[in-house]
Amino acid sequence: MRRTILMKTLSLSLIALAAISTGAGAAEPIPADHQVNGFAIGCQAYTFNRFTVFEAIEKTAAAGGKVIEFYPGQRLSPAEPEVKWDHNASPETVAKVKAKLAEHGLIAVAYGVVGLSKDEAESRKVFEFAKTMGIRVINTESVDAIDTFEKLVKEYDIKVGFHDHPKREKDPNYRMWDPNYILDLVKDRDPRIGSCADTGHWMRSGLKPVECLRILKGRIMSSHLKDLNGFVHLAHDMPYGQGMSDVGAILAEFKAQGFNGPISIEYEYNWENSLPEVTQCVDFVKAWKP
């Protein structure tokens, strides 16, 4: 009898331990061997949206990145261009992408920008995909679904970052560009809900990135780090350190805040041949000193 009780207790303990191990999940810090100079930097695959997922992985690795952020809808590979990569991917497709990541020493850390539904079953598909891929942050602009996905954030221990696009002069109802608006959205929510800080779109909205980061201190979940040649809507990406965003000060602010989340180079210029410039961005981070 005593042995039976002991075995049951041991079994329950193992089950509990497994649950804890699973639950620790995606919000854990990104491993040091997937960081560059203390930053988890890689590419948003949208940088290479003229290419496939497989090619985006190859180019991110070639640039020196250690992590990647996927977006929904990219073609899978040159061999299977008809297959689209997103949270509805088949187990076979997921396995192929995982193998490609492993081949090039990358891990997937973020996914977006993706719509999240008020329908919990639909949003759950995105969280399940993130869990399967080991993704730590889902980036979205789905403000209306926050009540739904807050439950899933707690259940899956996966963060959500509200992404910002530029200010829209003809659409005053669009407020995602304003860090104060984002802060109001998230301040009373689970601490794993915050900002996907797109520094380039802040610049296109006439805002200084470092000031925006300070407003959002403690609520930055991820970043699309960009250096643009101006503070206007038509400004374009430049290699880090050559634009006007002051990337060095941005990196210093990340360090000051203890931010250890994913940083995506989203280079939206020179689309067909941006790899040399993306490499320069990684090299800037590699050489940066506080």
For the chain, what percent of residues have pLDDT higher than 90? Answer: 89
Whether residue 14 has pLDDT greater than 80: no
Answering whether pTM is above 0.85, one says yes
Neighbours of 243 (CB within 10 A): 20
The pLDDT of residue 200 is above 50: yes
Burial grade of 263 (CB within 10 A; 0-12, 13-18, 19 or more):
buried
Residue ranges of domains in the chain, CATH in brackets: 28-287 (3.20.20.150)
- 79-108 pLDDT per residue, tens: 999 999 999 999 999 999 999 999 999 999
pLDDT bin (cut points 50, 70, 90) of residue 47 is very high
User: How would you write 119-143 as a 3-class SS string?
Assistant: CHHHHHHHHHHHHHHCCCEEEECCH
Dump pLDDT digits (tens) for 16-32.
333 333 333 556 789 99
> Which residue type does 104 have?
H
**Residue 36 pLDDT more than 90?**
yes
Mean pLDDT over residues 153-167, rounded? 97
Residue 257 has pLDDT above 90, yes or no: yes
